[in-house]
Amino acid sequence: DSGVTQTPKHLITATGQRVTLRCSPRSGDLSVYWYQQSLDQGLQFLIQYYNGEERAKGNILERFSAQQFPDLHSELNLSSLELGDSALYFCASSVGGGWSYEQYFGPGTRLTVT
Amino acid sequence: GQQVMQIPQYQHVQEGEDFTTYCNSSTTLSNIQWYKQRPGGHPVFLIQLVKSGEVKKQKRLTFQFGEAKKNSSLHITATQTTDVGTYFCAGRTGNQFYFGTGTSLTVIP
């Protein structure tokens, strides 16, 4: 158990819909990262927040957005969903804001778009 | 596009054999991290290398960072069934963090 929690574990929704994935970092960690893992694309970095502010942006689509709240939990919002958005979405946390810190991954949310 | 490639993509070994996965970046990396993901699980941090030419060992695992900081390798000596999983390298270039394509290891008992 990494100490990072993600909800829900599974999500099935239809194309065009919007969903919100939630992540609670390990106690004491200030950074939250979001990743998308699909069979053909591997692990893709989406976005990072550090202490409530966006720190780095990766391959995140405009239809996706995220935020980190004052209690440090984070939400990833996916809208106008397409079949290709079906994937495993991981949240990770680390104590610091740079890329030199060990990242602790949550169990993931499996999103299926039908 | 993908900037960090790993080879091989898949590797099947007999228990007790050695295993090596190679990680290659098109750009210089500030650091390299290695993660292991068991089937159905999430990535788990193994180690971080920062210095050019650095070598670190963890029991049967040996990690190397290339002199040019563009490549890295993970070598497992005498594999065990508990080594099964996908091994990912990941590194920072600029303000981006890239995961490698991963090497899936199967260990045949």
DSSP B15-64: TT--EEEEEEESS--S-EEEEEE-TTS-EEEEEEE-STT-EEEETTEEEE
C-beta separation of A101 from A44 below 8 A:
no
Q: Is the Cβ pair B43, A107 closer than 8 Å?
A: no
Residues in chain B predicted with pLDDT less than 70, given as ranges, are 1-2
Distance from CA of B78 to the nearest CA of A (A): 27
| Model pLDDT, residue B60 | 98
Q: Which two tokens stand for residue A24?
A: 């609670």
pLDDT reading at A77 higher than 60:
yes
A53: enclosing H helix or E strand? strand A53-57
C-alpha pair distances (Å), A53 with each of A14, A15, A34, B40: 31, 30, 14, 31
Whether chain B has a CB inside 8 Å of the CB on A49: the answer is no
Report the distance separating Cα B65 and Cα B32, nearest Å: 7
Report the distance separating Cα B81 and Cα A87, nearest Å: 28
Whether chain B has a CB inside 8 Å of the CB on A64: the answer is no
Q: Is the Cβ pair B42, A99 closer than 8 Å?
A: no
Whether chain B has a CB inside 8 Å of the CB on A53: the answer is no
Distance from CA of A107 to the nearest CA of B (A): 6
Chain B residues whose CB is inside 8 A of the A92 CB are 43
Q: Is the Cβ pair A102, B45 closer than 8 Å?
A: yes
Instruction: Find the CB nearest B96 among A56, A103, A108.
Output: A56
| Model pLDDT, residue B83 | 98
pLDDT reading at A98 higher than 90:
no
Question: What would the pLDDT profile of A13-60 be if each residue is shown by its tens digit?
Answer: 999 999 999 999 999 999 999 999 997 668 999 999 999 999 999 889
Class of residue A98 by CB neighbours under 10 A (exposed 0-12, middle 13-18, buried 19+): middle
Residues written for chain A? 114
When the pLDDT of each residue in chain A is averaged and rounded to a whole number, the result is 95
